[in-house]
Amino acid sequence: MTSTWTVLNLLNWAAPYLEKYGSTSPRLDTELLLAKVLDCQRLELYLRFDKPLDPTELADFKELILKRRQGIPVAYLLGTKEFWSLEFEVNEEVLVPRPETEHLVEAGIEFIENNFPKGCPVLDIGTGCGNIILALAHHFSNLTDFSGLGIDCRPPALAVARKNTLNLKLETVKWLTSDLFEALEPANHSFDLIVSNPPYITSQEMVSLPQEVLREPSAALDGGPDGLNFYRRITSAAKNFLNPGGGLIFEVGDGQADEVKKILASHGYSAISTKYDLARHERVVFGLNSA
């Protein structure tokens, strides 16, 4: 590359290059990475097509494109990911928030609005960068009785979640290192809503994951032989921490909803229901602790 490269030249060079190496969104990836190097909004690139890049900018951009080519997710290269219209810091210690997880947030909002109009204590299990509980906290920031606790078994993930609390100024949310409920005690911790997007990839799928997903922490993906390990463990233990009338809401993988509904039913949850994502997959499963 020479110093005569302009924004437009680079977009036209890098997008087909990334496509050739397997990116399914090469133009978007290229624009996001170039905007990062030029420290501008993605759409501002369109006003700067003729801008030549200086040698440092060119070198930085080339380095990012090479890393992207190696399959590193764009979110890790940018250090951020948008979720629920909020910007979350992310790194290799946390799963990159997915748009379909917004359906879990929607279900949580609906449950709280219908049952706890002043808010309630909410637990998020396997919180990662904290996107789910922080999105709920943001939505309910005016409710006096809303409080959030995000737990995760990996301290490096919680370090990311803590940064997001500060960035988003949502200090009502607290964090605790805990392997599922291990560090919680029913006498001290009770909730009206428990949410979780647990690891749900099956062992068989784990060995053939796309290169990009392999960059994400396997602890955040691996759901055991049939992908349902965490649903079983959480559903049975959650009863000790859910108040009567409390709800349990899971995100589930494609084709898992029926099995997860059965797990909830076998532990006595009622009003079991599901919500679909935009691709018409049953993505969210709800159960009520009526006991």
**Contacts to ligand GLN by CB under 6 A:** 95, 97, 101, 126-128, 131-132, 197-199, 220
Report in angstroms how near the CB of residue 213 gets to ligand GLN at its nearest: 12
Q: Which is nearer to ligand GLN, 5 or 88 (CB)?
A: 88
For residue 39, what are its two tokens? Answer: 């420290």
Site of tokens 């079991």: 272
Write down the H helix ranges in 39-100. 55-69, 74-78
Q: Which is nearer to ligand GLN, 31 or 251 (CB)?
A: 251
Report in angstroms how near the CB of residue 181 gets to ligand GLN at its nearest: 16
For residue 182, what are its two tokens? Answer: 């291990």
For residue 275, what are its two tokens? Answer: 């919500």
Name, in order, each residue with C-beta under 8 angstroms of 85's C-beta and a sequence gap of 6 or more. none
Report in angstroms how near the CB of residue 227 gets to ligand GLN at its nearest: 12
Report in angstroms how near the CB of residue 89 gets to ligand GLN at its nearest: 13
**Could you give phi then psi for residue 267, rounded to 5 degrees?**
-100, 15
- Residue at 182: amino acid letter: E
Q: Which is nearer to ligand GLN, 7 or 220 (CB)?
A: 220
* C-beta nearest to ligand GLN: residue: 128
Q: Which is nearer to ligand GLN, 96 or 264 (CB)?
A: 96
Report in angstroms how near the CB of residue 132 gets to ligand GLN at its nearest: 5
Distance from chain centroid for Cα 80: 11
For residue 235, give the nearest of 265, 257, 203 by alpha carbon: 265
Q: Which is nearer to ligand GLN, 199 or 246 (CB)?
A: 199
**What is the spatial distance between Cα 135 and Cα 148, in angstroms, rounded to a whole number?**
10
Report in angstroms how near the CB of residue 196 gets to ligand GLN at its nearest: 7
Q: Which is nearer to ligand GLN, 26 or 198 (CB)?
A: 198
**What is the spatial distance between Cα 274 and Cα 107, in angstroms, rounded to a whole number?**
9
**What is the spatial distance between Cα 60 and Cα 20, in angstroms, rounded to a whole number?**
21
